[in-house]
Structure formats: C-alpha cells, structure tokens
Structure 1
Amino acid sequence: MDKKRVVLCMSPWRPNDFFTGKFAEDVGGAWHPLGILSIAGMLEREGHRVMVLDGAFISFEDMVRMIYNYRPHLLGVYSNAFSLPRVSALAKAVKEVLPEVKVVVGGPITVGFNEMVLKQSECIDVVVVGEGEETIVELVEGLDERGSWGEIKGISFRDDGQIVSTALRKPIADLDNLPYPARHLVPLHMYRPPTGTYKRLPAVYIFSSRGCNGECIFCWQMSKRHEIRYRSAENVLGEIDQIVRDFPFIREIRFFDDNFAYNNERAFQICEGIIRRGYDLTFYASMRVDNVSKELFRVMRRAGFWGVMLGLESMVQKDLDAIRKGVKVDQNREAVYMAKEAGIETVTPIIFGLPGQTYEDGLKTIEEVCKLPTDYVNFHALTPFPGTELFNNVEKYGKLTTDRFEDFTFEGVAFTPYTMTREEILKLRREGFKRFYSRPAYLMKRAVNMKTWVDARVAVYGLRGLFRTIFMPNAFDPSSYNVS
C-alpha cells in the first residue's frame, strides 16, 4: 500500500471563541491540539506523512493555501459545537481547489450529531465518532478501496447520496499502546495557557488518563459508563522523559486529565517518579475535591506541582446536587485548605446558571468563595454542550437562549434555568470577578508573592481585566461586541 499524505488541523480560531469581549485579550490563551497530535503520532507510526495546522496561528486564507500546496490525500478537521460553521467553510474552500481530497471531521460535536455534521456541508465526506487514533489509520489505508469504508467502525459517510453509519468503535482500552503525541509538528514555543494557569513558559499538556467517573450533567464524556482509562505511571513518565529530551526548552507540564487523582496509587507513582528524575519542570493538574488528601498534595508539591484546578462549581449544596456533582460544600472548602497547607496554589472555577439556582444563591457562592484562600477563580456560565445530559434533556432543566452552535462557548450564556434570567447570570459573572479580585487583602497577597516575570505578566493582565470588569458593564455580554 502506498503511504499517504494527511493534513490534520484546527480551523482558524481566536480567543473570542472561548472568552467574551475584551476579556479575551486579558485571559485568553492557546493550548496545543493534543488529540490531533495523538492521531498524527499513530499515522506517522504507520509510515504516513502528516502536516498539522493550528488555526490559532494561521489565517483562513493561509490555511487553505498551505493545504493546497501539501496536496493531501485526506484532510482531518477537529470540530466542537461553536467551530462547526468555520469547519464547514474550510471544507468548502479546500474542496474548491482540491476536489479529490477526502475531508474527515472528528471531535466532540460528532457524538450524537454525526449525521447532522454531514448534512451541514456536502463537502464533508466522513465523520469520525469517538476516539480517532485507530479509525483515522483505517480510513487512510482504505482510501484506495472506497467500498471498504462500511467495515470501519465508528464512522458516518455518504454512499450514493445516503448517509451510512457503522457500528460504534469501543474506546481504546490499552492507552499505553498509543504512540506519544507528535509534538514536533507544531510550534510549541508559541503556545500560552490562559492567564493565571501557568508559572513557566513554554508549557505543554499531557493526558495521563481518559474519561471521568463523575456524572455532572454539563460534562461531555466519550463513554456513557463514566469510567476512567489509565496509562501506566511508567508510560507517563516515559513521555515526560521524551519531552525533556526532544524539547529541552519546555519548562512546565500540565496534566489535562479530567481527574488526575482518582487513582491515588498511580498519582503517587507518577509524582515519586518525577521526584527521582529531578526534572527542571513545574507541573499543574485538574482534580476533583473528593479524591484529594494531605499526603497526595505534599508529594505533588515535592514533585514540582505549583497549582491544581479544583472544580468547586458552587458553594451552595442544592446547586451542587442539581448538577449531580456528588460532593459536599465542606469538601470544597477542605480541598482548598489542604492544597494551600501543602504550598500549592488553587484555581477554582465557579458556574452560574445552574438548574434551580437563584440570583441570591449565586451571591451566596460569591460570598463563600471570597472567604477561601484560593488564588484564582473563574466565574463561568453553564453551557449545554451537545452530547451532555444537560443538552439532551434541556427542557427538564431550563431553556436555550440561542439555536446557533456558534454561541455554545465556554463563556457565553446559551442556557438559562427557569429560576434565573440571562441578565442575572451576566451580572453574577461580573460581580464575582469584581468582588473576588478587588479585595485589598487579595491584591496585597498577589503583590507580595510576585517573584517572576510570569507573575508580573499575570498581574498586569489581571489588573487590566479587573479594570474592564468594573468600568465596562457589558464586558461579559457577547452581544455587545462583534467578532470578525
């Protein structure tokens, strides 16, 4: 079989796709496309040639030109809900200059909406449902035998004008069998995480597991069984070894797992392996508050973890119960205090617009989170991403404020519960940022702890964001600005 040329890409995007208005300039960032790079690693292992294009740094016109010059046999494009219109536009533009190229779309939007994606654009040939590493290799190797696509699990495609969907592909069981992401295909030095979530640059991401055991109604999961699949500690440490060897300029590694600490034994093994190796790196991870302990935080600090994200979501128990968080408010508090006792900074997201939540409940959460010794808080609006329990049963919880997928961003107000208005959610977001970050004691603490140029940069962007929050009433309202 002849080896093929493949382009994998993120369609052109900007921070405004994730953060609203001018706030995007202060807190927005870019993270390298880890899923795409994992698929690229699989293709390279099979001997295929791969180009990766990230729309964070490439204009629409330049991306089309680069794809045309590479002449790929297959173009793979990542899509979530709000990027689908741009993905469709990219597929159309590429087909106009390369009509023979096969355009394949994958990503969160395809789960449950695979046929809708195909109907969105005649220029999209195939939709991959679920994890793409194994599927994309089979698609590339089946390009010369068009009739074999019906035997490939986990895809939808057109056959004589009819949409055909094959049997679902099971999630990859042995994650250790996957090659490490092909990070050499992107400019790692150009990526910067959102403000306040890094200590050193450049930074890269690692997935040491896939999935989550939680049942939150707003969270999209590949597996409906709510299970976690782990890579072994040895495999994870091997990837860190490779990063240190091949990309010696990297200064921070961020674990992108939904819940790094669910398997405490494995988390300890990873931390102890990092300590033995003595890397000149800092680390960051996301965790649930019900899977942490003083002992784990202590060993993480020794390993170089400067910060953790703890998804508090709310400080009102009925609101936590409404989203099936499965934790108590006291656990939220205890987790923050345990991390701080170990010398680890905390990033604690809060969500407004939860089912049954009132404006007064939101104010109570702001009041309580301001009492915690947490370092950073982002006040989000609840978003019903396609494929989640919230989206699939939206009338049970509230109502959509829009029917445009472009509005389903991390920061927009695409959903309101029956107990709150859109205006109240926007007001709570602004009030939360204003109250938390303008406290004199907090500002003094950040000033005293400012030790590096990164700390100074975070402070500058944070103060600018605070200024806009206080003096720009529409800072969080997407309808108050235009995005080109």
Structure 2
Amino acid sequence: MELEGNFFFNNGSILISPWTIYKLNGSPIQGELDLMKVQLIFPNINQGLIAKNVIHPPLGLGYLAAVLLEHGHQVEVIDAAALCLPLDGILTKIKTFKPDLIGITTNITTARMAINTSKYIKHGGIDVPVVFGGPWATIERENILETGLADIIVMGEGEKTIMEIASRMNAGKSLIGVKGMSWRDDSGILHGNPARPHIKNLDDLPFPAWNLFPDSKKYPYNNRHFPYYPVMTSRGCPFNCIYCTKVVHGNKIRYRSVDNVLEEIVHLKRNFHIKELIIADDNFTQDPDRAEQIFDEIIANNLDIKILFSNGIRADIYSERLVAKMKRAGVYRVFLGIESGNQSIVNEIKKGLDLGKIHDFVKLLKEYRIDHYGYFMLGLPNDTYGTMMDTINYAIKLNLKPHFHKTIAFPGTRLFEITKDHLIGEGGARRYSYRRSGATFEMYKGQARDLAKALGLGYLRYFFRLKAIAQVLRDTRSLNDLRWLFNGALHIVDMVMNRA
C-alpha cells in the first residue's frame, strides 16, 4: 500500500484517507509542522455556454481564501461557474490538488448545483471533508448533514470559523467547541456548536484573494469595463423586509472605516489595474455622510474608476449633493430595490419605502446622467393581477428600466413562514431557481396564472415603447453593454415563451 498525496491506494483502489483516520482517532491530517491544503469551490450554475448566469467574482470565497492564506494554509479556488467547468472537470482538479479540506459555497441560487457537486465528489471516491457555507447551508444545515451531502456546515459569517476548523484539523484537535459550525459524527449524531458572534471590526479582515480567481473577464456581469472587482464596505441590514434573510450578516449594520475602504480600492488599482468597481453593500447610503466621505476620497485621490451599484442604494435616502458626488466619483449605473409599484403591497412586505419619494431621486439620476434600473417582485403574497400591473405601470411611469422577478419564498425568511402552507410546483432546491418556470406558491386560486401573465407582459409593455428603445440605445456604450443587452433579450424571450 502506498500514499499518493492525501489518498491511500492499493492496486489503484482507495482504501483509507487521513480524513477517515482523523474521524476515528483525531490524528493530524497533515501534521503539526505542515499546513492544510484547502480547495474552495463555487458551483457551475450556468445553464449553457451562450446565456451564462450573471455573476461577479464571489466576495464570500474571496474573503475565505484570504483568511486561510493569511494563516499559512495552501489554497486553491475552483470557480466552476466562471470557467464553465463540468463536474468531471472539478473532480480532475480535486485529484490534482489533493486537498485536505473542500469548501463549497451555497446561497439559495447555487444550492442545487452545490448538492450535485458534493454528490459527484463523494461518489468519485474522494474521502475528504466537505464543508458547506453560506445562507442556504446555514438554514438547511440539519437536512444537509442528515443526507450526508456535507460533513461540516459553517453557519453565518465564515472567515473565523473556517480558519479555526482548518487549524484544529491540522493539529488533530477536536471540533467540539468551534463556534459557528455544525457536523454529524460517524454514529449519525448531529452536533450544533454555539453561533459565532459577528465580526465587530471589519477592518481586521484581509482583502479578498482575487489572485486565486479567474480573470474578471470570465464573469459576465452588467459592468462596462475590465478589469473589475466587487467591494463590500459594510455588512448587515437594519430593515425588516419579509423576503430577506439575515442569517449571515445580521440585523445590525457594521461599517468598515473610510480609510480601510480607500486602501482596498488603491490596492485593486495598483495590483489588479481595475477600471471599474462594483459596490455590493446591502445599504451603502444608509449613512449618507459616510457615503459622501468615500466619494470625496475617491475624487481627492484621482482614482479614475467607474463605479456600479449592483444594489445597496435606498431609493428614499438621497440628496442632490450625494448624487453630484456619485457622478464625480465615477458612478455610472445604479440599481434601486423598489419591489412593488403599489404602496399597500410595499407596506405589507415591511419595505419601509415611500413610493412618492422615488420620483425625485430618479429625476436627479437622469439629470446627472447616471444609468438606473429598478428591481421589482411580482407575485408577492397579496399581489393580484391588478397590483402586479400597478408595478409594471409604475416602472413605465418613471421610465425606470425594470428587472421583473417572480417572488420566491426562501427558507429562513418571514415570507417563507407566510407561504409555506401554500407552496406549489417542484420541491427541494429546484424550487428556488429564478430560471425555472412557474410560481412557487399560490395564496389564492389563480395567482400562479396571474403571475405568469404579468411576467410575460411586463417586459413587453415596458421595452416595446419608442421612449424605452431610445433609452436603451442611449445607455448602451460598450461591448459589454451589448452582451448584457443580448443576455437580457434572451431572458425576456425565455420569460415570455414560458409565461413565468
């Protein structure tokens, strides 16, 4: 019998691995003087090579990789979505790298492919601990562990937890007492350690290790310029929208210092030569004074970058001074979370948003020539066909380019509790795909039909207007804008053809 990397072979057959030994007697996986080899995976969520899912480089994995590197571990990232890598390609990379620990990120849209990836790895004879992390894994941890899809679940913010797991396993120490994780032992007993408190000082985190990821050109996002990378300047959200979960970053907003944010932007300019920045906060403008300070520093330091807000701009927190500074700092596109064009529906989902205030903000964005889109949800619990049409008409009235989405009740949200007795269609992780047709719940008979009709009409009514066509042509200024337009057109065709 011989040892090849981390797998024991006898005539080509795997017999036992260090992970099995660790589970049996707690022996170090590498040894006190060696460090762990950790492989982090973002599942391939693409439906094909033409219309790839819209993603930017994943911040969560970027931070995890950076923390592990900071503590001396060897890390490899497999972003299977960016590389369009099939399952056998992932397995080949795993066998080549020979990791001691595998981590797979799982938000609600990656859950199904995370499951398939883990199954393929385990059926491929890889006896290495598989760790799931992210909001979906945090919420569904018991089901995941009971089915053996993962050996360990990292709950909530994962940076400190994954570092402690790797360090303890490397030294052969028990995982009992590691805050923020759950696991199942060999006897089938589930263990849930206490939750880990949120990271108080976000400035303590290293910057994401983008050097381990594919080139940003591999990420089909709605940006205009390359290279580009996302930055998160705060974590947490103080609002109580019923469709959102706070299981990872919590209800209290925590800010990085302005100096730390500026240092990261300078780092990205110097080391990655970025031309564009995506700010991925949930609530960047919650503190308008801080937001202005960040813009002031970008302007004062002549950083010469373009900025896109994928979210994080409250549609009711603004001033002309803030918008003017956004423009001077390089902001060219923002997305506003509005959700519904009917005030009663907005109130029912606890959005805390006055629709009457949005008109003036959109007017300012137009005056300063900042491209703007609106996120809208159709099929909310008390949405009728009439209120869904209110939302479509509201987008048309504002001339605000819309992203219409069917409402999905994600586990861990108040919305899920409201609708769980009214679920329809496919079960499991497939239920939570925006690409799959059909409503996921029906609060009244015929609501699914009304949702399908509204989704089919929404884009047609908005974009098949001369004013909207002129708007799209005016705002299309780069090759990537054309790609984004093409992908958007494919999405609209799919939406209309499937009527959901």
Same fold (TM over 0.5): yes
**Contact 2:118/2:130 (8 A) holds in 1:** yes
Does the C-alpha gap of structure 1 residues 106 and 461 become closer, same or farther in structure 2, counting only changes over 3 Å? closer
Q: Distance in 1 between matches of 2:298 and 2:270?
A: 15
Does 2:69 align with 1:44? Answer: yes
**Contact 2:36/2:170 (8 A) holds in 1:** no
The unaligned stretches of length 5 or more in structure 2 are 1-31
Match of 1:161 among 188, 209, 217: 188
Does 2:47 align with 1:10? Answer: no
- The offset of 1:461, in angstroms, is 4.7
Q: Distance in 1 between matches of 2:262 and 2:364?
A: 26
Match of 1:113 among 140, 148, 170: 140
Match of 2:253 in 1: 228
**Contact 1:11/1:77 (8 A) holds in 2:** yes
- Which SS does the other structure have where 2:433 is aligned? coil
- Which SS does the other structure have where 2:176 is aligned? helix
**Contact 2:388/2:454 (8 A) holds in 1:** yes
* Percent identity over paired residues: 30
Match of 2:107 in 1: 80
Match of 1:388 in 2: 413
Task: Tell me the amino acid that sits aligned with residue 40 of structure 2.
Answer: L
Q: How does 1:282-301 map to 2 (within 5 A)?
A: 282-285=306-309, 286=311, 287-301=313-327
- The offset of 1:282, in angstroms, is 0.6
Task: Tell me the amino acid that sits aligned with residue 426 of structure 1.
Answer: A
Q: How does 1:363-402 map to 2 (within 5 A)?
A: 363-374=389-400, 376-395=401-420, 398-402=422-426
Match of 1:335 in 2: 361
Q: How does 1:80-479 map to 2 (within 5 A)?
A: 80-97=107-124, 99-121=126-148, 124-144=150-170, 148-159=174-185, 160-194=187-221, 197-222=222-247, 226-248=251-273, 250-285=274-309, 286=311, 287-374=313-400, 376-395=401-420, 398-412=422-436, 413-418=439-444, 421-462=447-488, 468=493, 473-477=496-500
Q: Distance in 1 between matches of 2:101 and 2:150?
A: 11
Alpha-carbon RMSD across the aligned residues, in angstroms, is 2.3
Q: Distance in 2 between matches of 1:335 and 1:27?
A: 32
- Which SS does the other structure have where 1:76 is aligned? strand
Task: Tell me the amino acid that sits aligned with residue 402 of structure 1.
Answer: E
Structure with more relative contact order (C-alpha pairs < 8 Å, separation 6 or more): 1
**Contact 2:217/2:226 (8 A) holds in 1:** no
The unaligned stretches of length 5 or more in structure 1 are 17-23, 478-484
- Which SS does the other structure have where 1:349 is aligned? strand
Q: Distance in 2 between matches of 1:459 and 1:91?
A: 34
- Which SS does the other structure have where 1:9 is aligned? strand
Does the C-alpha gap of structure 1 residues 27 and 450 become closer, same or farther in structure 2, counting only changes over 3 Å? same
**Contact 1:359/1:420 (8 A) holds in 2:** no
Q: Distance in 2 between matches of 1:81 and 1:106?
A: 11
Q: Distance in 2 between matches of 1:233 and 1:180?
A: 14
Count of residues in correspondence between the two structures: 461
- Which SS does the other structure have where 1:385 is aligned? coil
**Contact 1:6/1:72 (8 A) holds in 2:** yes
CA deviation digits over 1:63-113, x for unaligned, max 9?
Answer: 011011111110011113454343333333333455441111111112232
**Contact 2:146/2:184 (8 A) holds in 1:** no
- Which SS does the other structure have where 1:365 is aligned? helix
Does the C-alpha gap of structure 1 residues 82 and 463 become closer, same or farther in structure 2, counting only changes over 3 Å? closer
Q: TM-score, normalised to structure 1's length?
A: 0.89
Q: Distance in 1 between matches of 2:435 and 2:237?
A: 22
Q: Distance in 2 between matches of 1:146 and 1:321?
A: 53
Higher mean C-alpha displacement, 342-351 vs 296-305: 342-351
Does the C-alpha gap of structure 1 residues 15 and 172 become closer, same or farther in structure 2, counting only changes over 3 Å? farther
